[in-house]
Amino acid sequence: MCDSKTSKAELLAPCGNFKTLKAAVQSGADAIYLGASKFSARAFAENFDVRKQEQGQKQEQGQEQKQGLAEAISFANSHGVRAYVAINTLVTDREMSEAMYIVEHAYEAGAAAFILQDIGLAAAMKKRYGNIALHASTQTTAKTLDDVNALHRMGFSRVVLARELSREQIKEIARSCQAELEVFVHGALCSSYSGQCLMSSFIGGRSANRGKCAQPCRLPYAAAAAQKKGVLLSLKDLCLIDHVAELSQMVASLKIEGRMKGEDYVRTVVGAYRAVLDGKQLSEKQRAKLFNIFNRGGYTDGYYTGERDEMYMDVLKNPYKKHERK
Protein backbone atom coordinates (compact mmCIF):
# COMPACT_ATOMS: atom_id res chain seq x y z
CA MET A 1 0.00 0.00 0.00
CA CYS A 2 1.28 3.47 -0.84
CA ASP A 3 2.44 5.76 1.91
CA SER A 4 -0.49 8.17 1.87
CA LYS A 5 -0.96 9.96 5.16
CA THR A 6 -3.17 8.13 7.62
CA SER A 7 -5.23 11.22 8.50
CA LYS A 8 -5.41 13.60 5.57
CA ALA A 9 -3.35 14.39 2.53
CA GLU A 10 -0.97 17.29 2.15
CA LEU A 11 -2.31 20.39 0.41
CA LEU A 12 0.23 21.57 -2.17
CA ALA A 13 -0.07 25.09 -3.59
CA PRO A 14 1.50 26.83 -6.62
CA CYS A 15 3.77 29.88 -6.28
CA GLY A 16 4.89 31.92 -9.26
CA ASN A 17 6.13 34.91 -7.26
CA PHE A 18 6.49 36.13 -3.70
CA LYS A 19 2.93 37.51 -3.51
CA THR A 20 1.39 34.15 -4.38
CA LEU A 21 3.83 32.44 -2.00
CA LYS A 22 2.54 34.55 0.87
CA ALA A 23 -1.07 33.97 -0.19
CA ALA A 24 -0.53 30.19 -0.24
CA VAL A 25 1.11 30.16 3.19
CA GLN A 26 -1.53 32.42 4.73
CA SER A 27 -4.36 30.35 3.24
CA GLY A 28 -3.24 27.10 4.83
CA ALA A 29 -1.02 25.24 2.35
CA ASP A 30 1.03 22.42 3.86
CA ALA A 31 3.59 22.74 1.07
CA ILE A 32 4.30 24.97 -1.91
CA TYR A 33 6.03 24.37 -5.23
CA LEU A 34 7.98 27.00 -7.10
CA GLY A 35 10.44 27.33 -9.95
CA ALA A 36 13.80 28.97 -10.48
CA SER A 37 14.51 31.35 -13.34
CA LYS A 38 15.47 28.41 -15.61
CA PHE A 39 14.40 24.78 -16.19
CA SER A 40 10.84 25.33 -14.95
CA ALA A 41 7.86 23.98 -16.89
CA ARG A 42 6.31 27.40 -16.34
CA ALA A 43 9.07 29.47 -17.94
CA PHE A 44 6.78 32.48 -18.31
CA ALA A 45 5.88 32.68 -14.63
CA GLU A 46 7.81 35.32 -12.70
CA ASN A 47 9.67 32.54 -10.83
CA PHE A 48 12.57 33.07 -8.43
CA ASP A 49 16.18 34.10 -9.05
CA VAL A 50 18.97 31.84 -7.81
CA ARG A 51 21.36 34.75 -7.28
CA LYS A 52 21.16 36.17 -3.78
CA GLN A 53 20.28 39.83 -3.49
CA GLU A 54 23.12 41.82 -1.99
CA GLN A 55 22.18 43.68 1.16
CA GLY A 56 21.60 47.32 0.34
CA GLN A 57 21.58 46.62 -3.41
CA LYS A 58 19.85 49.43 -5.31
CA GLN A 59 17.12 48.51 -7.72
CA GLU A 60 16.53 50.39 -10.91
CA GLN A 61 13.96 53.15 -10.72
CA GLY A 62 10.44 51.87 -11.32
CA GLN A 63 11.44 48.21 -10.96
CA GLU A 64 10.44 45.91 -8.14
CA GLN A 65 13.33 43.91 -6.73
CA LYS A 66 12.92 40.27 -7.66
CA GLN A 67 12.87 37.89 -4.72
CA GLY A 68 15.47 35.13 -4.62
CA LEU A 69 14.80 31.39 -4.54
CA ALA A 70 16.65 30.97 -1.23
CA GLU A 71 14.59 33.73 0.35
CA ALA A 72 11.34 32.14 -0.82
CA ILE A 73 12.34 28.73 0.56
CA SER A 74 13.37 30.32 3.85
CA PHE A 75 10.03 32.16 4.10
CA ALA A 76 8.08 28.92 3.59
CA ASN A 77 10.21 26.98 6.07
CA SER A 78 9.88 29.70 8.71
CA HIS A 79 6.10 29.20 8.56
CA GLY A 80 6.28 25.42 8.77
CA VAL A 81 5.50 24.98 5.07
CA ARG A 82 7.56 22.61 2.90
CA ALA A 83 9.07 24.04 -0.29
CA TYR A 84 9.38 21.85 -3.40
CA VAL A 85 11.49 23.21 -6.26
CA ALA A 86 10.33 22.38 -9.78
CA ILE A 87 13.22 21.76 -12.17
CA ASN A 88 10.85 19.90 -14.42
CA THR A 89 11.89 20.51 -18.01
CA LEU A 90 14.12 18.31 -20.09
CA VAL A 91 17.78 19.30 -19.62
CA THR A 92 20.44 19.06 -22.34
CA ASP A 93 23.93 17.74 -21.64
CA ARG A 94 25.49 21.18 -21.94
CA GLU A 95 22.95 22.57 -19.44
CA MET A 96 23.54 19.96 -16.76
CA SER A 97 26.10 21.96 -14.77
CA GLU A 98 23.78 24.99 -14.69
CA ALA A 99 20.86 22.83 -13.55
CA MET A 100 23.00 21.30 -10.82
CA TYR A 101 24.00 24.79 -9.67
CA ILE A 102 20.32 25.60 -9.12
CA VAL A 103 19.88 22.29 -7.29
CA GLU A 104 22.81 23.05 -5.01
CA HIS A 105 21.51 26.55 -4.29
CA ALA A 106 18.01 25.29 -3.43
CA TYR A 107 19.26 22.25 -1.50
CA GLU A 108 21.47 24.41 0.74
CA ALA A 109 18.58 26.84 1.22
CA GLY A 110 16.44 24.05 2.68
CA ALA A 111 14.24 22.81 -0.17
CA ALA A 112 12.27 19.78 1.03
CA ALA A 113 12.15 18.09 -2.40
CA PHE A 114 12.68 18.58 -6.12
CA ILE A 115 10.11 17.97 -8.86
CA LEU A 116 11.79 16.54 -11.98
CA GLN A 117 11.01 15.29 -15.46
CA ASP A 118 14.56 14.57 -16.64
CA ILE A 119 15.75 11.19 -15.33
CA GLY A 120 19.37 12.00 -16.23
CA LEU A 121 19.25 15.00 -13.92
CA ALA A 122 17.62 12.81 -11.26
CA ALA A 123 20.50 10.31 -11.49
CA ALA A 124 23.07 13.10 -11.16
CA MET A 125 21.29 14.54 -8.13
CA LYS A 126 21.10 11.14 -6.42
CA LYS A 127 24.79 10.57 -7.07
CA ARG A 128 25.77 13.89 -5.49
CA TYR A 129 23.16 13.99 -2.72
CA GLY A 130 22.20 10.47 -1.76
CA ASN A 131 19.41 11.50 0.60
CA ILE A 132 17.80 14.11 -1.64
CA ALA A 133 14.01 13.82 -2.04
CA LEU A 134 12.90 13.54 -5.66
CA HIS A 135 9.33 13.82 -6.95
CA ALA A 136 8.56 12.64 -10.49
CA SER A 137 6.71 15.41 -12.33
CA THR A 138 3.43 14.82 -14.11
CA GLN A 139 5.59 15.47 -17.20
CA THR A 140 6.90 11.88 -16.78
CA THR A 141 3.39 10.68 -17.73
CA ALA A 142 3.06 8.09 -14.96
CA LYS A 143 -0.31 6.45 -15.62
CA THR A 144 0.15 2.82 -14.54
CA LEU A 145 1.46 0.87 -11.57
CA ASP A 146 4.47 -0.21 -13.63
CA ASP A 147 5.26 3.45 -14.40
CA VAL A 148 5.16 4.40 -10.74
CA ASN A 149 7.25 1.45 -9.58
CA ALA A 150 9.85 2.07 -12.31
CA LEU A 151 10.23 5.69 -11.21
CA HIS A 152 10.49 4.59 -7.59
CA ARG A 153 13.36 2.26 -8.52
CA MET A 154 15.11 5.23 -10.15
CA GLY A 155 15.07 7.03 -6.82
CA PHE A 156 11.82 8.99 -6.84
CA SER A 157 10.10 8.88 -3.45
CA ARG A 158 6.93 10.47 -4.86
CA VAL A 159 5.22 10.34 -8.24
CA VAL A 160 2.81 12.96 -9.56
CA LEU A 161 0.25 10.94 -11.50
CA ALA A 162 -0.96 11.87 -14.97
CA ARG A 163 -4.07 14.07 -14.74
CA GLU A 164 -6.02 11.80 -17.09
CA LEU A 165 -6.57 8.96 -14.60
CA SER A 166 -9.91 7.88 -13.20
CA ARG A 167 -10.83 7.16 -9.59
CA GLU A 168 -10.49 3.41 -10.21
CA GLN A 169 -7.07 3.77 -11.86
CA ILE A 170 -5.72 5.88 -9.00
CA LYS A 171 -7.11 3.43 -6.46
CA GLU A 172 -5.53 0.47 -8.23
CA ILE A 173 -2.11 2.15 -8.32
CA ALA A 174 -2.37 3.29 -4.70
CA ARG A 175 -3.21 -0.25 -3.56
CA SER A 176 0.14 -1.71 -4.63
CA CYS A 177 2.71 1.01 -5.40
CA GLN A 178 5.86 1.69 -3.40
CA ALA A 179 6.10 5.47 -3.84
CA GLU A 180 3.99 8.26 -2.42
CA LEU A 181 1.38 9.52 -4.85
CA GLU A 182 0.42 13.08 -5.70
CA VAL A 183 -2.56 14.10 -7.83
CA PHE A 184 -3.79 17.37 -9.31
CA VAL A 185 -7.14 18.40 -7.88
CA HIS A 186 -7.66 21.84 -9.38
CA GLY A 187 -6.59 23.85 -12.40
CA ALA A 188 -5.77 23.50 -16.08
CA LEU A 189 -6.25 20.31 -18.07
CA CYS A 190 -4.60 19.55 -21.41
CA SER A 191 -6.05 17.72 -24.39
CA SER A 192 -2.91 15.55 -24.41
CA TYR A 193 -0.96 13.68 -21.75
CA SER A 194 1.46 16.03 -19.97
CA GLY A 195 4.97 15.49 -21.28
CA GLN A 196 3.73 13.98 -24.54
CA CYS A 197 2.26 16.96 -26.42
CA LEU A 198 4.37 18.38 -29.26
CA MET A 199 1.69 20.63 -30.74
CA SER A 200 3.24 23.90 -29.53
CA SER A 201 6.68 22.75 -30.63
CA PHE A 202 5.51 21.78 -34.13
CA ILE A 203 3.41 24.90 -34.70
CA GLY A 204 5.61 27.60 -33.22
CA GLY A 205 8.87 26.08 -32.04
CA ARG A 206 7.97 26.53 -28.37
CA SER A 207 8.31 23.20 -26.60
CA ALA A 208 6.15 22.33 -23.61
CA ASN A 209 8.94 20.03 -22.45
CA ARG A 210 11.15 23.09 -22.21
CA GLY A 211 8.56 25.09 -20.28
CA LYS A 212 7.46 27.27 -23.20
CA CYS A 213 4.08 25.91 -24.28
CA ALA A 214 2.15 28.50 -26.32
CA GLN A 215 -1.12 26.64 -25.60
CA PRO A 216 -2.32 26.38 -29.21
CA CYS A 217 -5.01 23.96 -28.00
CA ARG A 218 -6.79 26.94 -26.42
CA LEU A 219 -7.27 28.65 -29.79
CA PRO A 220 -10.40 28.46 -32.00
CA TYR A 221 -10.44 25.89 -34.81
CA ALA A 222 -12.88 24.65 -37.41
CA ALA A 223 -13.78 20.99 -37.98
CA ALA A 224 -15.08 20.95 -41.55
CA ALA A 225 -16.51 17.43 -41.49
CA ALA A 226 -18.45 18.07 -38.28
CA GLN A 227 -19.32 21.63 -39.34
CA LYS A 228 -18.19 22.99 -36.01
CA LYS A 229 -16.17 26.04 -35.07
CA GLY A 230 -14.83 27.09 -31.70
CA VAL A 231 -12.19 26.15 -29.14
CA LEU A 232 -12.52 22.51 -30.11
CA LEU A 233 -9.42 21.26 -28.25
CA SER A 234 -9.73 23.28 -25.04
CA LEU A 235 -10.78 21.31 -21.98
CA LYS A 236 -12.53 22.88 -19.04
CA ASP A 237 -10.48 23.24 -15.87
CA LEU A 238 -10.27 20.47 -13.29
CA CYS A 239 -12.12 20.73 -9.97
CA LEU A 240 -12.17 17.82 -7.52
CA ILE A 241 -13.36 19.76 -4.46
CA ASP A 242 -16.21 17.25 -3.99
CA HIS A 243 -13.83 14.26 -4.01
CA VAL A 244 -11.25 15.45 -1.48
CA ALA A 245 -12.26 13.03 1.29
CA GLU A 246 -11.81 9.87 -0.77
CA LEU A 247 -8.69 11.15 -2.52
CA SER A 248 -7.00 11.96 0.79
CA GLN A 249 -7.31 8.27 1.70
CA MET A 250 -5.55 7.19 -1.50
CA VAL A 251 -2.72 9.68 -2.03
CA ALA A 252 -0.19 11.67 -0.05
CA SER A 253 -0.62 15.04 -1.72
CA LEU A 254 -3.38 17.08 -3.36
CA LYS A 255 -1.90 19.52 -5.86
CA ILE A 256 -3.34 22.78 -7.14
CA GLU A 257 -2.18 23.94 -10.57
CA GLY A 258 -1.47 27.62 -11.15
CA ARG A 259 2.07 29.03 -11.09
CA MET A 260 0.94 31.49 -13.79
CA LYS A 261 -2.11 32.54 -11.74
CA GLY A 262 -2.45 35.57 -9.49
CA GLU A 263 -2.60 36.15 -5.77
CA ASP A 264 -6.41 36.19 -5.54
CA TYR A 265 -6.67 32.87 -7.40
CA VAL A 266 -4.17 31.17 -5.09
CA ARG A 267 -5.77 32.57 -1.95
CA THR A 268 -9.29 31.56 -3.03
CA VAL A 269 -8.51 28.05 -4.23
CA VAL A 270 -6.09 27.12 -1.44
CA GLY A 271 -8.49 28.47 1.17
CA ALA A 272 -11.39 26.42 -0.18
CA TYR A 273 -9.45 23.15 -0.33
CA ARG A 274 -7.96 23.80 3.11
CA ALA A 275 -11.43 24.16 4.57
CA VAL A 276 -12.70 20.95 2.95
CA LEU A 277 -9.59 19.01 3.99
CA ASP A 278 -10.22 20.17 7.56
CA GLY A 279 -13.74 18.76 7.42
CA LYS A 280 -15.59 22.03 6.98
CA GLN A 281 -18.58 22.60 4.71
CA LEU A 282 -18.17 25.33 2.11
CA SER A 283 -20.88 27.97 2.16
CA GLU A 284 -22.71 28.82 -1.06
CA LYS A 285 -20.74 32.07 -1.17
CA GLN A 286 -17.43 30.20 -0.85
CA ARG A 287 -18.40 27.71 -3.56
CA ALA A 288 -19.54 30.49 -5.88
CA LYS A 289 -16.25 32.31 -5.41
CA LEU A 290 -14.27 29.14 -6.09
CA PHE A 291 -16.25 28.26 -9.22
CA ASN A 292 -16.08 31.79 -10.61
CA ILE A 293 -12.39 32.44 -10.09
CA PHE A 294 -10.29 32.14 -13.27
CA ASN A 295 -11.24 29.10 -15.36
CA ARG A 296 -11.52 28.11 -19.00
CA GLY A 297 -15.25 27.80 -19.64
CA GLY A 298 -16.09 26.24 -16.28
CA TYR A 299 -14.95 23.15 -14.37
CA THR A 300 -15.12 19.39 -14.81
CA ASP A 301 -14.28 16.22 -12.90
CA GLY A 302 -14.65 14.20 -16.10
CA TYR A 303 -11.44 12.20 -16.01
CA TYR A 304 -11.83 11.29 -12.35
CA THR A 305 -15.46 10.17 -12.53
CA GLY A 306 -15.35 8.95 -16.13
CA GLU A 307 -18.47 10.97 -16.98
CA ARG A 308 -17.12 12.54 -20.14
CA ASP A 309 -19.78 14.07 -22.35
CA GLU A 310 -20.18 17.22 -24.41
CA MET A 311 -19.91 19.32 -21.23
CA TYR A 312 -16.36 18.05 -20.73
CA MET A 313 -14.93 20.21 -23.51
CA ASP A 314 -15.38 23.95 -23.88
CA VAL A 315 -16.78 23.67 -27.43
CA LEU A 316 -18.28 26.86 -28.91
CA LYS A 317 -17.69 28.86 -25.76
CA ASN A 318 -15.31 31.61 -24.79
CA PRO A 319 -12.47 29.74 -23.01
CA TYR A 320 -12.24 32.49 -20.39
CA LYS A 321 -15.93 32.92 -19.64
CA LYS A 322 -16.62 32.50 -15.92
CA HIS A 323 -19.58 30.45 -14.84
CA GLU A 324 -20.42 27.94 -12.18
CA ARG A 325 -19.44 24.30 -12.50
CA LYS A 326 -22.35 22.16 -13.61
pLDDT in tens, 35-65: 998 998 777 778 899 865 433 344 444 444 4
Q: Which of 17-26, 39-48, 202-211: highest mean pLDDT?
A: 17-26
Output the pLDDT for position 239. 93
Residue 324: is its pLDDT beyond 60? no
Output the pLDDT for position 61. 42
Residue 118: is its pLDDT beyond 50? yes
Computed over every residue of the chain, the mean pLDDT equals 85
pLDDT in tens, 88-111: 999 999 999 999 999 999 999 999
Output the pLDDT for position 178. 93
| 69-78 helix and 18-26 helix, angle to the nearest 10 degrees | 10
Average pLDDT over residues 146-158: 98
Secondary structure in 3-state letters for the chain: CCCCCCCCCEEEEEECCHHHHHHHHHCCCCEEEEEECCCCCCCCCCCEECCCCCCCCCCCCCCCCCCEHHHHHHHHHHCCCEEEEEECCCCCHHHHHHHHHHHHHHHHHCCCEEEECCHHHHHHHHHHCCCCCEEECHHHCCCCHHHHHHHHHCCCCEEECCCCCCHHHHHHHHHHCCCEEEEEEEECCCCCCCCCCCHHHHHHCCCHHHCCCCCHHHCCEEECCCCEEECCCCECEEECHHHHHHHCCCCCEEEECCCCCCHHHHHHHHHHHHHHHCCCCCCHHHHHHHHHCCCCCCEECHHHHCCCCCCCECCCCCCCCCCCCC
pLDDT in tens, 158-173: 999 999 999 999 999 9
